[in-house]
Amino acid sequence: MALLTGLLLPFQLFNDIVLRIGRAIGIVAIALMVVAILIQVFFRYVLNNALPWPDEAARFAMLWMTGLLAPMAYRRGGFVAIDMALRMLPQRLSAALSLVLLFIAGGVLIVAIQIGWSEVTGFGGRFDTASLYIPTSFDFSSFMRVPRSWMMASLLTGVILLLIVNIELILRSIITLAGGADRLKPLAPPEDEIMAE
């Protein structure tokens, strides 16, 4: 049991820290997405002159928000799940089935990492976005287009973080099956947390 708990601790600490940072960045991404959409609505419907960049900027922020917040939702059980069969089974059998499902999810995430890597480094990642520019000097005299790979890196980042969370959940399930559930720190957020989840 001590070995499993020792294996779990680094994953738990990493997820506690990195997912909290990801959550903060994800909240900023949501705010930027809303601002970009409001700018587009104002220019399109009030001034009757649509801008080329807000749609792509909102998409960029949405992808990064998803990549950074999905691992936290997965860790806390926030994904939609059909758990009717698990609830009907005895507790030990339900925990064993959950463990099998976590291993399957881990396999899917490994394949997703390979796909994400090929998207970032492959042919599609070599192109630039159509209308997003960033300054390349402090006096804003020159600009470059944002590479598409920066957008696709959200997929890769998200699935890597999901795999790390999945490994933590596998270790927690094994500890629970071994009778050490009372030694595990709860993953559920405090009730007084500000963000709705």
Largest CA distance in the chain: 67
Q: Using alpha carbons, list the distances in angstroms from residue 67 to 62, 94, 126, 191.
A: 9, 29, 21, 24
Is the pLDDT confidence value at 42 over 60? yes
pLDDT for 40: 93
Q: What is the mean pLDDT of residues 53-82?
A: 88
Calpha distance 28→125 (Å, rounded): 25
Helix (H) or strand (E) holding 136: none
Is the pLDDT confidence value at 154 over 70? yes
pLDDT for 124: 60
pLDDT for 23: 93
Give the CA angle between residues 192, 187, 117 to the nearest 5°. Answer: 115
pLDDT for 192: 45
Q: What is the mean pLDDT of residues 151-165?
A: 93
Q: Taking a C-beta distance cutoff of 8 angstroms, is the pair 174, 96 a contact?
A: no
Calpha distance 104→109 (Å, rounded): 9
Q: How many Cα atoms are found within 13 Å in the side-chain-facing hemisphere of 192?
A: 0
- Which residue type sits at 28? V
pLDDT for 158: 95
Is the pLDDT confidence value at 190 over 60? no
Q: What is the mean pLDDT of residues 44-67?
A: 90
pLDDT for 169: 93
Is the pLDDT confidence value at 125 over 50? yes
- Which residue type sits at 34? V
Is the pLDDT confidence value at 107 over 50? yes
